[in-house]
Chain A
Amino acid sequence: MNTTLLEVEDVTKTFILHLIDGRSITPVQAVSFRVAIQDHLLIYGRSGSGKTSILKCIYRSYLASGGQIWFSSECYGRIDLVTANESSVLRLREREMGYCSQFLRVLPRVSALDVICEPLYRQGVAREVAQEQGRQWLSDLGIRPHLWQASPVTFSGGEQQRINLGRAFIAAPRLLLLDEPTASLDGATKEIVVRMIRAAQANGTTVISVSHDLAALGPCANYQLALA
Chain B
Amino acid sequence: MTTTSLLHVADLHKRYGPGCAACAELTGPSQGRSQCPRCGTVYACVAANFSLQTGEVLGIVGESGSGKSTLLQMVNLSIAADQGQIWYHEPGGSAPVDLLRMDAYAARRFRNDRLGIVHQRPELGLNMHFSVGGNVAEKLLLAEWRHVGRIRGRTSELKLQTELPPERIDDEPYTFSGGMLQRVQIAKALASRPSLLLLDEVTSGLDLSVQARVLDLIRRIQWEEQITMLLVSHDLGVIRQLARRTIVMKNGHIIEAGLTDQIMEDPQHPYTQLLVSSAL
A–B contact with Cβ pairs below 8 Å: the answer is yes
Using CB atoms and an 8 Å cutoff, list the residues of chain A in contact with chain B. 15-19, 56, 60-63, 86-87, 89-90, 105, 107-110, 121-122, 124
B262→A62 contact, CB < 8 A: yes
Residues from chain A with a CB closer than 8 A to the CB of B223 are 121-122, 124
- Taking a contact as CB atoms under 8 Å apart, the answer to whether A63 and B268 are in contact is yes
Interface class of chain A by DSSP = loop
Considering the chains assembled together, what is the distance between the CA atoms of A62 and B273 in angstroms?
13
CB < 8 Å neighbour of B209 from A18, A87, A109, A122: A109
Closest to B223 in A: A121
A153–B56 CA distance with the chains assembled, in angstroms? 27
Q: Within the complex, what minimum Cβ distance (angstroms) separates B218 from chain A? A: 10
What are the residues of chain B within 8 A of A15 when measuring CB–CB? Answer: 266
Q: How far is the CB of B18 from chain A (nearest CB, A)?
A: 35
Q: Is the CB of A109 within 8 A of B216?
A: yes
In the complex, A22→B83 CA distance in Å? Answer: 36
CB closest chain-A residue, reference B209: A109
Instruction: Name which of A56, A63, A87, A89 has the most chain B CB atoms within 10 A of its CB.
Output: A87
B residues contacting A by CB (< 8 A) are 2, 4, 53, 56, 208-209, 212-213, 215-216, 219-220, 223, 226, 240-241, 244-245, 258-259, 261-262, 265-266, 268-270, 273-274, 277
Other A-B pairs, 8, CB within 8 Å; known A17-B273, A18-B269: A19-B274, A19-B277, A62-B265, A63-B262, A90-B259, A105-B240, A107-B216, A108-B208
Q: Which of B245, B261, B270 has a CB less than 8 Å from the CB of A18?
A: B270
15 A-B pairs within 8 Å (CB atoms) are namely A18-B270, A56-B266, A60-B262, A61-B261, A61-B265, A62-B262, A63-B266, A87-B4, A87-B53, A87-B56, A107-B215, A107-B216, A108-B212, A109-B209, A109-B216
Give 4 nearest A-B pairs by CB, closest first: A18-B270, A121-B223, A62-B266, A108-B212
CA–CA, A90 and B245, complex, Å: 9
Give A63 to B269 CA distance when docked, in angstroms.
13
**Cβ contact within 8 Å between B226 and A86:** no
Report A-chain residues with C-beta under 8 Å of the C-beta of B259: 60-61, 86, 89-90
Cβ of B273 and Cβ of A107 under 8 Å apart? no
Question: Please, how many angstroms separate the alpha-carbon atoms of A89 and B2 in the complex?
Answer: 15
- Across the interface, which residues of A come within 8 angstroms of B4, CB to CB? 87
